[in-house]
């Protein structure tokens, strides 16, 4: 296997991610050694070879004993395969289970009667076998018993996709873990072994699609030299069940095609995209399709020709359809020249187009209506377009959540959206059921995460940021998994199984999302970060494009603060279904975490705590800082359970996080105090610097922004 993962490690550097195969402790070890003496996998394919390689590599590391491949299954055999290729599996009575797991699921079972129990990993397809192998290895990594083992698992969502915002020059938009993994310059000839390890990591959590390039797209990626490079990556990923997508720049027919228009209804444009799709499929036979950002933040699109988003999407969908490809059209559309509240714009434009998209088109909707803030209410498009498959887009990279220096476990954020009840088709119309297609009967379904992966040795920058990649994959596979369970798993496979470590570390992870909300944007505040690079606070940002300023969103004044989205304001609330609409419309019932998102509120408004809004706001900021200090105390107490390198790395990053939490608190409170005119309440630490100081802080070369920049 083309892996760089060592069995015996000199020091921990995070490279292995959650595929860290360290010796299992007793008593699990004794059971595993007796039950797993050899591996039998019948059949020949690149995917089955990947499954074999993984087991042959992992089991000796885990068990400290050789576990060879064998042709026949004796006592202690681990048998993996499909009934079509494996007579051993065909002979077992697994038809009923396999009938329910589709073409990616698997069954793992201890076969009764064999002593010690024989373990079987069965699936209908080779990729199902590989997924089952990874699940089984996780079972061993987490020291769970084999006796009585029985797992039947299938993904709820069809496209489980990473969106890389990687540029062809090697930079990554909103990337905080170094440069792009894709070495375009050396591709297709040099295949970095990391590509294989990346594919392994993705397959191990069920991710089956990746778009390689930034949605702020460069048309060059659709030219022959880059298609050859993309094809080389697709070849590496294919055995791991991963299909490659590319971002399509809508104006590509002009930029690389020599046409003088990109009008989606122009016959020459239609012919150009058809020929382009044919060319791509000649290079990448299982090409997934296009991901498109159009008419948003300066990107070209169908509006440039007076056409609709569905016209644009259908143009590409038709080009891809003969090859079985799909177009993923982003719903992140808003226009500075439209006076309407930005939170309303995507819905206003797209909801009326429900039913107009081709069957092989998906609309990719961000979790909230603005832009990946620490907390947003769910996007009102979920529930408003039952005739269109809606993909959920979340941001794994921490553009607005402290980049790669803040420990923020994002599963609670993802789950908050998935679990939200839109009410649009009656009670229980969860976003999760819109997204998995079950609510509206769509076979096509998807969930995308904007990648936080880069060239850093540990992949994601912060040792805990890998938990967010992991959690994304696990939730896309099964959105019913609890955030606690995912954190539990990730901690065990990443650090170890000692309960004295796992329990407090898990509590720290769960706490972390609420901490960042408190020290950055409590009570429904949003989009108050520094301009452009989005590093640190910037509630004073004003001037220039209105919908990229902070003052547009918080609207603070002497009388109060918050965005009035009720019927007397922008009426963004009117885009939601009952009962959420009424719940948030009423100041008395609106959950306080969304208060300033939906309402403009007087500084002396009485909160549920009995305090004034001003005092509550101050104390929330203070509490955010204290929560980070609690995370620091928790981590410090865990030094005995973590290797020195990773312990120290996390400890240092938590110190930065605490410092930056204070920065957020002090800068925001000093600024908002200029409107509230009230003193900081008891319990809030006095600011360390003057407002003037924070206003004048300038940061150069913050990672994550290409030279050409906006908002
Ligand atoms: C890729 C936000 C980010 C942009 C990003 C955009 C998007 O505006 O700041 O960097 O562009 O979202 O999701 O398209």
- Report the CATH architecture of 28-153: 2-Layer Sandwich (3.30)
Query: Can you give the pLDDT at residue 710?
Result: 40
pLDDT(118) > 90: no
E strands along 388-435, which residues?
390-395
Mean pLDDT along residues 33-62 = 96
DSSP state of 512: H
CA 553 to chain centre: 25
* Percent of the chain's residues with pLDDT above 70: 97
In CATH, which superfamily holds the domain spanning 517-563+600-695?
Answer: Alpha-glucuronidase, C-terminal domain (3.90.1330.10)
What is the 215 CA–ligand 1 centroid distance (Å)?
A: 8
Comparing 84-88, 190-194, 230-234, the range with the smallest average pLDDT is 84-88
Angle between helices 224-237 and 193-204 (to 10 degrees): 60
Ligand 1: residue of 371, 403, 451, 708 to mutate (most ligand atoms within 8 A of CB) is 371
CA distances to 42, 141, 241 from 35, in Å:
19, 15, 29
Query: What number does the ligand 1 atom closest to the CA of 366 have?
Result: 13
> Which structure tokens are listed for 426?
């009656």
Secondary structure of 29-47 in the HEC alphabet?
HHHHHHHCCEEEECCCCHH
Q: How far apart are CA 538 and CA 614, in angstroms?
A: 19
Residue numbers annotated as active site: 297, 371, 399
Ligand 1: residue of 296, 297, 335, 549 to mutate (most ligand atoms within 8 A of CB) is 297
Query: What number does the ligand 1 atom closest to the CA of 705 have?
Result: 10
Mean pLDDT along residues 135-139 = 98
What is the 174 CA–ligand 1 centroid distance (Å)?
A: 8
Residues 6+ positions from 449 with CB-CB distance below 8 Å: 161, 162, 163, 393, 394, 395, 396, 469, 472, 476
CA dihedral 142, 145, 146, 147 (to 10 degrees): -170
Task: Report pLDDT digits (tens) over 428-472.
Answer: 999 999 999 999 999 999 999 999 999 999 999 999 999 999 999
What is the 242 CA–ligand 1 centroid distance (Å)?
A: 25
Query: Can you give the pLDDT at residue 182?
Result: 98
Residue 173: band (very low, low, confident or very high) from pLDDT cuts 50, 70, 90: very high
What is the 297 CA–ligand 1 centroid distance (Å)?
A: 8
Mean pLDDT along residues 214-232 = 98
Mean pLDDT along residues 36-56 = 96
Residue 709: band (very low, low, confident or very high) from pLDDT cuts 50, 70, 90: very low
Which residue has its alpha carbon closest to ligand 1 atom 11? Answer: 216
Query: Can you give the pLDDT at residue 711?
Result: 39
Query: What number does the ligand 1 atom closest to the CA of 215 have?
Result: 1
Domains of the chain, by residue range, sit at: 28-153, 159-484, 517-563+600-695
Mean pLDDT along residues 229-236 = 98
Angle between helices 267-283 and 224-237 (to 10 degrees): 40
First to last CA, the chain: 44
> What is the CATH number that goes with domain 159-484?
3.20.20.80
> What residue has token string 């609890």?
482
Query: Can you give the pLDDT at residue 674?
Result: 98
Q: Which of these, 324, 384, 329, 379, lies nearest to 357 by C-alpha position?
A: 329
pLDDT(707) > 60: no
Query: What number does the ligand 1 atom closest to the CA of 395 have?
Result: 13
CA dihedral 648, 649, 655, 660 (to 10 degrees): 180
E strands along 134-182, which residues?
150-153, 159-163
Please tell me the number of Cα atoms within 13 Å of 246 on its side-chain side.
29
Query: Can you give the pLDDT at residue 3?
Result: 57
Q: Report the pocket of ligand 1 as residue ranges, CB < 6 Å.
A: 165, 173-174, 215-216, 293, 297, 332, 371, 399, 711
What is the 146 CA–ligand 1 centroid distance (Å)?
A: 46
pLDDT(53) > 80: yes
What is the 177 CA–ligand 1 centroid distance (Å)?
A: 17
Task: Report pLDDT digits (tens) over 605-617.
Answer: 999 999 999 999 9
Task: Indicate the average pLDDT of the chain.
Answer: 96
Query: Can you give the pLDDT at residue 75?
Result: 86
Q: What angle do CA 564, 620, 431 make, to 5 degrees?
A: 55
Query: What number does the ligand 1 atom closest to the CA of 296 have?
Result: 14
């Amino acid at each position: 296997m083309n892996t760089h993962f060592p069995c015996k490690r000199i020091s921990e550097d995070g490279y292995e991610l959650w595929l860290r195969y360290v010796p299992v402790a007793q008593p699990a070890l004794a059971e595993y050694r007796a039950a797993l003496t050899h591996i039998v996998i019948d059949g020949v394919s690149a995917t089955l070879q990947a499954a074999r390689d993984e087991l042959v590599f992992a089991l000796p590391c885990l068990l400290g004993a050789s576990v060879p491949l064998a042709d026949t299954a004796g006592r202690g055999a681990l048998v993996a395969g499909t009934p079509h290729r494996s007579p051993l599996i065909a002979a077992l009575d697994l038809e009923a289970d396999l009938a329910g797991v589709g073409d990616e699921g698997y069954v793992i079972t201890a076969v009764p009667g064999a002593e010690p129990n024989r373990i079987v990993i069965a699936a209908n397809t080779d990729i199902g076998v590989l997924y089952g192998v990874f699940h089984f290895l996780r079972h061993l990594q987490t020291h769970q018993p084999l006796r009585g083992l029985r797992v039947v698992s299938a993904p709820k969502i069809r496209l489980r996709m990473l969106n890389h915002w990687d540029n062809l020059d090697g930079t990554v938009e909103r990337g905080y873990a170094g440069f792009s993994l894709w070495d375009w310059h050396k591709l297709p000839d040099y295949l970095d072994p990391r590509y294989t390890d990346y594919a392994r990591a993705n397959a191990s959590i069920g991710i089956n699609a990746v778009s390689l390039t930034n949605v702020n797209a460069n048309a060059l990626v659709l030219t022959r030299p880059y298609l050859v490079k993309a094809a080389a990556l697709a070849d590496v990923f294919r055995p791991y069940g991963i299909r490659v997508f590319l971002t399509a720049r809508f104006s590509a027919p002009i930029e690389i095609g020599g046409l003088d228009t990109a009008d989606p209804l122009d016959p020459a444009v239609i012919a150009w995209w058809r020929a382009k799709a044919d060319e791509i499929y000649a290079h990448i036979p299982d090409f997934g399709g296009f991901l498109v950002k159009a008419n948003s933040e300066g990107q070209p699109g169908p509006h440039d020709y007076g056409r609709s988003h569905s016209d644009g999407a259908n143009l590409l969908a038709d080009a891809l359809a003969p090859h079985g490809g799909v177009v993923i059209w982003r719903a992140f559309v808003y226009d500075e020249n439209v006076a309407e509240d930005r939170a309303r714009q995507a819905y206003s434009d797209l909801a009326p187009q429900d039913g107009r998209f081709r069957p092989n088109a998906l609309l990719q909707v961000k979790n909230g209506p603005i832009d990946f803030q620490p907390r947003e209410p769910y996007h009102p498009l979920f529930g408003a377009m039952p005739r269109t498959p809606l993909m959920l887009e979340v941001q794994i990279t921490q553009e607005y959540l402290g980049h790669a220096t803040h420990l923020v476990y994002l599963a609670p954020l993802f789950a908050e959206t998935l679990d939200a009840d839109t009410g649009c088709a009656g009670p229980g119309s969860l976003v999760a059921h819109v997204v998995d297609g079950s609510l509206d009967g769509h076979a096509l379904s998807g969930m995308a995460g904007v990648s936080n992966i880069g060239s850093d040795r540990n992949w994601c920058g912060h040792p805990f940021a890998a938990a967010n990649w992991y959690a994304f994959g696990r939730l896309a596979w099964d959105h019913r998994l609890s955030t606690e369970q995912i954190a539990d798993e990730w901690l065990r496979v990443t650090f170890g199984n000692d309960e004295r470590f796992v329990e407090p570390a898990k509590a720290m992870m769960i706490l972390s999302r609420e901490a960042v909300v408190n020290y950055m944007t409590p009570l429904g505040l949003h989009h108050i970060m520094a301009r452009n690079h989005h590093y640190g606070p910037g509630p004073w940002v004003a001037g220039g494009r209105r919908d990229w300023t902070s003052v547009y969103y918080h609207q603070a004044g002497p009388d109060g603060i918050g965005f009035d989205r009720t019927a007397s304001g922008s009426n963004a609330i009117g885009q939601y279904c009952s009962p959420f609409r009424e719940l948030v419309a009423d100041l008395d019932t609106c959950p306080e975490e969304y208060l300033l998102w939906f309402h403009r509120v007087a500084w002396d408004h009485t909160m549920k705590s009995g305090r004034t809004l001003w005092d509550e706001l101050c104390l929330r900021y203070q509490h955010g800082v204290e929560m980070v200090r609690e995370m620091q105390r928790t981590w410090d107490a865990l030094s005995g359970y973590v290797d020195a390198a990773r312990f120290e790395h996390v400890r240092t990053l938590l110190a930065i996080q605490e410092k930056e939490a204070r920065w957020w608190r002090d800068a925001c409170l000093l600024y908002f105090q200029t409107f509230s005119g009230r003193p900081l309440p008891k319990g809030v630490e006095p600011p360390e610097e003057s407002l003037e100081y924070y206003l004048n802080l300038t940061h150069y070369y913050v990672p994550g922004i290409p030279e050409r920049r906006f908002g």
